[in-house]
Structure formats: structure tokens, C-alpha cells
Chains A and B, each alone.
Chain A
Amino acid sequence: MENKNKSIRAFFSGLVKQQVFIPLAALLILALFNLIMDPSFFKITLGQNSVGDPVLNGYLITILDYGSELAILAIGMTLVTAASGGQDISVGATIAIAGSVILRMLCGGQTTTDTYQTPLIVAFLVAVLASMVAGAFNGALVAYFRIQPMIATLILFTAGRSIAAWVNNNELPIVNVDSFGYFGGYIPGVPIPTPFFIAVICVVVIALVMKFTNLRLYTQAVGINESASRLNGLNPEFIKFISFVILGVCVAVVGLIKVSRLSTINYSVVAKDIEMDAILAVALGGNALGGGKFNIWASILGAYVIQFLTTTLYKLEVQSDALPAYKAVVVIVLVVLSAPIVREKLASISKKMKTKEVA
């Protein structure tokens, strides 16, 4: 009995040390909160959409749907954070560019189209290329010109949406093809939102990349100690650069989901402020925003937690322009908790409690 108790305690203290503990704890708190406020939050119903296909409905499905966009961005943002010790604040604007490119390709320069003017895959690949170029631009500024990531990406943050509008000559193209809506909606016959499957694909891809390459080791090494990495034969500049390019790919995928949701785009508001949520996901995942060691899975979990928070706030009918204020509170709590001085304090408190227990 005693042994069992001990092992359970060891399990929990081990869990507390794990990085995923932070987003997991946040998730539990949110879930508990909703359970107390209104258990129907967790209700999921199977219904039909207007075309007659089966779809699942409920807050949890909404979280799965929108959280997946964030999860995809969190993958890239985690790598950028780890390698460069800074964040890319231009992802929202780059999503606008990627989305705009997709629409431009699909519409072939017209304002509306009922058929794909370019094969979807080509349109998507061109968008991937475009946002990789944007990522490369950011990455070059950060890695080779040694500009602070926030400052470097401020350029595209400011100019990106104008570029996106320019791609389509300020038109707002509309794609009236049913299958285009699948990416941000549902594939006929599958009741789970497609963005979730896209996120799963991205997660699998990055997991494979991390298994079969040294991406994780190199990125961490560069993020922790650039000088030592260089002396071990790494090229820190290139690794930082490539992390921004990878983020570019993630951005293009989210761009596709975004434009698919409404089959059109609004340059000035599409994916607005999404970079803040993506950065928050990385922070909530317990990753140091100053770079170094990272845990992508914790970031991805963090992304869904952020969406959980957003959806909860929507449910409480908090004014959507007040959402950032609530998220700011979360950021403050996180930042304070991760400050070394607080951690030391907490560690000493828990030590004291332990010694008391022994006594």
C-alpha cells in the first residue's frame, strides 16, 4: 500500500517536472472550469450540414477545428523560437500572402470562378513557395544580418497584407468550387473537421523529420550555445535561416485552411493576430521564448489549450475585442511563472514542504 502511494507520488512529481505538465495543467483547469459552469460544454452531437453530410457539432469540435490551425503554426514557431531565440510576428500577414496566392492561382486572375483555373495542388505548391520565400526573407535578416527576430519580421508584419492585396490587384476573388471548401470544412462523409486531419498530417511529417534527421539536435544546440555549435561544425546561421523557411511551409498550410473556410479572403483581417496565439502556444508549451531546448508536442498541446480558452471566452460571450486582454492575463501568469526568480522560490517552497512531510 505504502509502496503504491510512493509510486503514485513519484509518478506525479515526475509529471510535474515534464514540460507537457504546463499545458496539461492549463487544459485541466479550463476543462474543470467549464464542467462547473455548464457541463453541456462537452456535449457533442452528430448532425448534418446543409449539403446533407454528417458532421459533429459541439464546442469540443470547434476547438479541434480552429485549434488545428494554431497547432500547425506552433510547429514552425517552436523551431523558430528554439533556433533564433525570438519569434516571427509576421505569420498572420504571410498567411494573407499565401492565401492570396492560392486564390490568384485558382481563379486565374478573375474575380470569381466555378472551376479551378489551375490544379489545386499546383496552386498550393506555389503558395508554399511564396511563403517559403517570405520565411527566407525573415530568416536571412535574422541569421545573416543579425537583426532581432521581432524587428526583422516587423517588416513583413507591416507590408505583408499590402503584398497580399497586390497579388490579386486588390480584388477579392471567390472560388465557387465545392471541393475547395473541404480543407477548412468537412470532407463529405467524414464528420470530423478537415483541419484536424491536416494538423495530424503535419504532426506526423514533423515527427518523421525529427526521427530521421538531426533537426532537433542541431536546432537545440544552436539555440542553447551558438558559439559552441559553430566549433562543432554546425552552421548556426543556416539553421536559424531554415527554421524560418519551415515556418513558411506551416504558414502556407494554414493559409490554405483559412481561404478554404470562406472560399475568399479579406486581406486586412484574415488571420489577424494569429501570430500572438501561435507564440502563446509555444510559451504555454513551456518552451523558453529565449530559445534552446524545445518540445514540439507541448507546443501543439498548447495550441489546442489556447483555442480551448478562446472558445470558452466566446461561450461566455466576452466581447471578441476584449479577448486579447484575457489572453494577456495568461501570458503574464506564464511569464511570471517561468521567471527564474519565481521558479527558485517555488522550488524552495516545495523543498520545505517535502522536508516537513518527512519530519
Chain B
Amino acid sequence: MKEKSVLEMRGICKSFPGVRALHDVDFTLCEGEIHALMGENGAGKSTLIKVLTGVYEKDEGEIFLKGLDKAAVIRSPQDAQKLGISTVYQEITLCPNLSVAENMYIGRDEQKGVSWKKMNANADKILQTLDIPAKANRQLSNYSIAIQQMVAIARAVDMECKVLILDEPTSSLDEQEVEKLFGLMRDLRAKGVGIIFVTHFLDQVYEVCDKITVLRDGGLVGEYEIADLPRVKLVAKMLGKELDDMSDIKTDTIAYSGDDADTKIFEAEGLQSNAGIKPFDFYIRKGEVNGFTGLLGSGRSECVRAIFGADHVIGGSVKKNGKTIKIKKPIDAMKQGIAYLPEDRKVDGIIGDLSVRDNIILAQQVLKGFLHPYSKAEAQKIAEEYIKMIEIKTASADTPIKSLSGGNQQKVILARWLLTHPEYLILDEPTRGIDVGTKIEIQKLVLKLASEGMSVTFISSETDEMIRTCSRLIVMRDRRVVGELGSDELTQNKIMSTIAGGDNNGK
């Protein structure tokens, strides 16, 4: 082990049935350091954390801790706790009905027989030294999420943890609370604690961290000093695109050329939903393909969900062809000619046990109304037509959609919305988790629809897809719109630097 390191993980491998979640990953944490663990969803961050905290057992690799002369054995969260590894999760895992002190001492068997008075006094002392504004004898639920999180950290500190893992601790905090939390983290750093910080907020990483380790697709990309890794490079590492390798891909679309090509068909002003995005403005022209880009969690899905009325809209207005319309719930949007293919196909898209046929007709059937069902023959005819048109591979229209492959499920959902003949089609990650061939088919289809006059919003985590399909990109970071790129600005470099933002802009 290196001199100053408190934790070294070497050659960690972990597989789940059918998935290789971690492959030969190294990770080193030093004393008095805040170390960011970065990567897109599915990169292996949480698997690594779970291996470290004993939730999962690793397949291969070794974990060394300071003060142990041989590799540590961590088989359960209790083992991890005993070895001085503590975790504070995004969701508070304390008991809100107990007092602050009780929460700090619950489940720690070494505290057996300690009097309440002494326990409260101890707790108050720790809270004071850490400058946490909480009283030991008050009920935990009296305090804000931020303070509760700090109490959880105080609990970890009191257990003399050497490694503190903060897993997305800031997602439910406001800016001031985040500042307070950072203050506490810096104090702990000064006291020599090693902190692993998992977040998807880039600004926060650059504000508080010393080092960054990047994971991608279950493998280690590298470990970097914060000063050596400008944001744009970080984003490139996370997305797996080396800047120099990325060439621009010209699109050869025939743009929609109707007389009304410049009409702003839908416009939104100061739109805001309860899903935590900052108010944003938005418009889309007839026959245009635009896109929201940004890292996962940057708020791009929340924006389109707000337009569709999928989340509860709490502010702003929407206009169609210049006339104000009210969209409170999805059916309102559907009646205005908006269609929305959701990001999470399984949770929000497919009706798993129903047939491909029922899944295709669902949206149009709802629009037709409760009292006007398609006859079985009509439904069958429509389903067969669309199955043929966009080449859905299914045994029959009667097959339950859940037995189809991901790409074909996605096509069914696409067929469902095409059947409603929308004026404005929102596709949120339509190509995620599907094979390359289908991806390209869907992209082509989008361009074809647009050339026929349909307006499309296309969201994808893959920038080259966006460049290939979109003529305009809205860039998001940390739940707000931070920029807009016109067709002449659509290059990988430009997009990434806009996503990254901040002072370290790619030069």
C-alpha cells in the first residue's frame, strides 16, 4: 500500500447473470482527500460502492485498508462498518421518529448500557465539534434533509470511520444546504478522513473534490487530479469519446420545405414542473428536429415531461400556433397532437402483459374515447399494418409485448404514437438499450417524419446520434437550460464543452 492511502481496491471484478458489472477496477483513496467517483448510469459506480460496503460480494480482486496487513474480508455491511467504512445514502436511512442521539447510537453494540444522559451529552459534543446545528435530544424529523444527512455523517464520524462514502447526497438539497454539506466535508478532510463522493453534478465535483476516478461500462477509465482534467475532458471520458477521434457526421436530410416551415408550432415560456427543473423557455418549428442534451440527471427528460404534462406543471405557459393552451395531464397534450415516447420503456411505456396489438392501439384508442372501441378486426388490421410498416419482429399481434426484444418493444411504442398521427413527437432516449441496426432505422424514421412536416424532439445520450438527427440542440446542466446550439454549431467538441460548462471550458 502507498504511504498515505487509506483504501486500495485492486482488480475488482463482479458479474451478474448476463452482465459484467465491474471488470478489473482499481481504486485508491488517500487520507484527507475528497475523491469523486464519476461515470454515466450503468458505468459501475454503485456496484463498486456496494462491493466496498459488503452489499455485494466481489468475484475477484482485493481490498486493502490502512492498518490491516492483509486483504480485508468484507462480506456484509456490518463487516464494512467494523472496518471503518461508512456510507451515507441519498435516501436517509435513519429513523425519523427517534431522537438525533438515538439515531447516532442505534445498532452499535459497543454502546450497550450507556445511559441516556451520557449518550445525549456525547452526541451534542460531536455535533458541536462538527458544527452541525442539531440538538441531540430532539426528534430527527424536526430537521431538514440536509441536517439529517449531516447527522448521518456525524454518526459515521463517531464510529471513527476512515472511509466515508457519500452516495448522491446532494440531489435533494438546495444550494445553501449543499454549501453547508461541503463545509462539513472539508472539515472532515482536514481531520484526515477519506471521502468518496458520488454525484452527477459536475459543478459540485469541481467545487469540492481533489481527485476524480472515472468508470465506464464496468471498467476503469482512469484516476485524475482535478487540476489535470478539465470538464470537457471529464465528459469525454465519461461518454467514451476521445476528443480527437470524433469526426463530425454530416447529415443528408431533406428538410421540410412547406410554407409554414418557420412557424413555431409549440412554444413554452417559463415552464416548470414539480420534478425539480428550473423554469425554461422552449419552442419548436414545424418539421424541425431538435433535441435536449446533457448528462443523465441534467433535467432533459424532466423538460419534455413538463411539456407533455407527465409531471405536475407548476408554472409557465404553453402556446400552440401562438394560442395559449392548457396541458395539465397527458391526455390534454395528446389532444393537442403531442406524442411522448418515455425514457423508461419498462416503467412508463409498455403494458407488459397485454398483446402487441393492444399496446399499439392504446393511445389512439384512448383518444377515440371510452365508448368507441376498435373492433377486434379493426385493431388487428391496424396492428398488422404497423408491424409491417416499421418491421416489428413478433410472432403475431397477439404475442404479449413483454416477450419481445427491447428494440421491438420500442418499435411497438413508436407505432402506438405514430398511430395517433401527432403534430409533435417527443422521443426520450428511443435508442437506449437496442441494437445498432434498429437505432439507425429509428433515426431514419425520425428524419423522414420531419421531412413530412412532423416536429420531433429527440433525446439521446449519444451525441453523434443527436448530431445526425437534430438541427438544433438545447443544452442542459444541473437541471437548467444553459445554452442552445444551432445547426452550424453542432460538433462533438462544441456540444461537450457546452455540456461541461464552467471555467474549465475546453480550449
CB distance from A232 to the nearest CB of B (A): 5
The stretch among A3-11, A157-165, A214-222, A326-334 that forms the contact with chain B is: A214-222
Are the C-beta atoms of A218 and B331 separated by less than 8 Å?
A: no
Give the docked Cα–Cα distance between A231 and B342 (Å): 8
Also in contact, A232 and B330, with CB within 8 A (given A220-B351, A227-B347, A292-B353): yes
Also in contact, A220 and B373, with CB within 8 A (given A228-B347, A233-B334): no
Are the C-beta atoms of B310 and A229 separated by less than 8 Å?
A: no
Are the C-beta atoms of A214 and B365 separated by less than 8 Å?
A: yes
* Option from B330, B353, B367 in Cβ contact (under 8 Å) with A220: B353
| Chain A residues with CB under 8 A of B340 | 231
Question: Which size class do B's interface residues fall under?
Answer: 20 to 34
Are the C-beta atoms of A233 and B331 separated by less than 8 Å?
A: yes
Give the docked Cα–Cα distance between A292 and B416 (Å): 20
Are the C-beta atoms of B371 and A229 separated by less than 8 Å?
A: no
| Chain B residues with CB under 8 A of A217 | 354, 358, 362, 365, 373
Total contacts A-B at CB 8 Å: 74
B16 at the interface (CB under 8 A from A): no
Are the C-beta atoms of B348 and A212 separated by less than 8 Å?
A: no
Give the docked Cα–Cα distance between A173 and B365 (Å): 49
| Chain A residues with CB under 8 A of B330 | 230-233
A60 at the interface (CB under 8 A from B): no
B363 at the interface (CB under 8 A from A): yes
Give the docked Cα–Cα distance between A107 and B352 (Å): 52
Also in contact, A233 and B370, with CB within 8 A (given A224-B354, A227-B348): no
In the complex, chain B residues 341-381 whose Cβ is within 8 Å of any chain A Cβ: 342, 347-354, 358, 362-363, 365-367, 370-371, 373
| Chain A residues with CB under 8 A of B354 | 217, 220-221, 224, 293
A225 at the interface (CB under 8 A from B): yes
Are the C-beta atoms of A233 and B371 separated by less than 8 Å?
A: no
* Option from A212, A229, A235 in Cβ contact (under 8 Å) with B351: A229
In the complex, chain A residues 107-122 whose Cβ is within 8 Å of any chain B Cβ: none
Nearest CB in chain A to that of B363: its residue:
A232
Nearest CB in chain B to that of A211: its residue:
B373
A50 at the interface (CB under 8 A from B): no
Count chain B CB atoms within 10 A of each CB in A212, A217, A224 and give the residue with the most: A217
Are the C-beta atoms of A228 and B331 separated by less than 8 Å?
A: no
A202 at the interface (CB under 8 A from B): no
Are the C-beta atoms of A213 and B351 separated by less than 8 Å?
A: no
Also in contact, A224 and B373, with CB within 8 A (given A217-B362, A230-B330): no
In the complex, chain A residues 91-130 whose Cβ is within 8 Å of any chain B Cβ: none
A234 at the interface (CB under 8 A from B): yes
Are the C-beta atoms of B342 and A213 separated by less than 8 Å?
A: no
Nearest CB in chain A to that of B345: its residue:
A228
| Chain A residues with CB under 8 A of B308 | 231
CB distance from B264 to the nearest CB of A (A): 25
In the complex, chain A residues 259-280 whose Cβ is within 8 Å of any chain B Cβ: none
| Chain A residues with CB under 8 A of B362 | 217, 221, 232
* Option from B310, B329, B363, B370 in Cβ contact (under 8 Å) with A218: B370
| Chain B residues with CB under 8 A of A228 | 342, 347-351
Give the docked Cα–Cα distance between A221 and B349 (Å): 11
In the complex, chain A residues 5-31 whose Cβ is within 8 Å of any chain B Cβ: none
Are the C-beta atoms of B351 and A214 separated by less than 8 Å?
A: no
Give the docked Cα–Cα distance between A234 and B370 (Å): 10
CB distance from A338 to the nearest CB of B (A): 14
In the complex, chain A residues 217-252 whose Cβ is within 8 Å of any chain B Cβ: 217-218, 220-221, 224-225, 227-235
Are the C-beta atoms of A231 and B310 separated by less than 8 Å?
A: yes
Count chain A CB atoms within 10 A of each CB in B330, B349, B351 and give the residue with the most: B351
CB distance from B59 to the nearest CB of A (A): 26
Give the docked Cα–Cα distance between A160 and B365 (Å): 39
* Option from A213, A229, A231, A292 in Cβ contact (under 8 Å) with B370: A213
Are the C-beta atoms of A213 and B350 separated by less than 8 Å?
A: no
| Chain B residues with CB under 8 A of A232 | 330, 334, 362-363, 366, 416
| Chain A residues with CB under 8 A of B358 | 217, 220-221
CB distance from B338 to the nearest CB of A (A): 11
CB distance from B211 to the nearest CB of A (A): 39
Nearest CB in chain A to that of B400: its residue:
A293
Give the docked Cα–Cα distance between A218 and B370 (Å): 9
Also in contact, A234 and B366, with CB within 8 A (given A217-B358, A293-B353): yes
CB distance from B234 to the nearest CB of A (A): 33
* Option from A214, A221, A225 in Cβ contact (under 8 Å) with B373: A214
Give the docked Cα–Cα distance between A338 and B354 (Å): 19
| Chain B residues with CB under 8 A of A230 | 310, 329-330
Give the docked Cα–Cα distance between A212 and B368 (Å): 13
Give the docked Cα–Cα distance between A269 and B283 (Å): 65
Are the C-beta atoms of B331 and A235 separated by less than 8 Å?
A: yes
Give the docked Cα–Cα distance between A233 and B80 (Å): 47
Give the docked Cα–Cα distance between A123 and B358 (Å): 41
Nearest CB in chain B to that of A230: its residue:
B330
Are the C-beta atoms of A213 and B363 separated by less than 8 Å?
A: no
Proximity bits, B140-168, A CB within 8 Å = 1, else 0? 00000000000000000000000000000
Give the docked Cα–Cα distance between A204 and B433 (Å): 46
Are the C-beta atoms of A213 and B373 separated by less than 8 Å?
A: yes
* Option from B329, B353, B373 in Cβ contact (under 8 Å) with A212: B373
Give the docked Cα–Cα distance between A221 and B347 (Å): 12
Also in contact, A225 and B365, with CB within 8 A (given A212-B373, A217-B373, A230-B330): no
Give the docked Cα–Cα distance between A246 and B310 (Å): 28
| Chain B residues with CB under 8 A of A218 | 366, 370
Proximity bits, A284-312, B CB within 8 Å = 1, else 0? 00000000110000000000000000000
Provide 6 A-B residue pairs closer than 8 Å at the C-beta atoms, listed in order of the A residue.
Answer: A214-B366, A214-B370, A218-B370, A225-B350, A231-B308, A235-B331
8 further A-B contacts with Cβ under 8 Å, apart from A221-B354, A227-B347, A228-B349, are A214-B370, A214-B373, A217-B365, A218-B370, A221-B351, A230-B310, A232-B330, A232-B416
> Top 4 A-B pairs ranked by shortest CB distance?
A233-B331, A233-B366, A293-B353, A233-B334
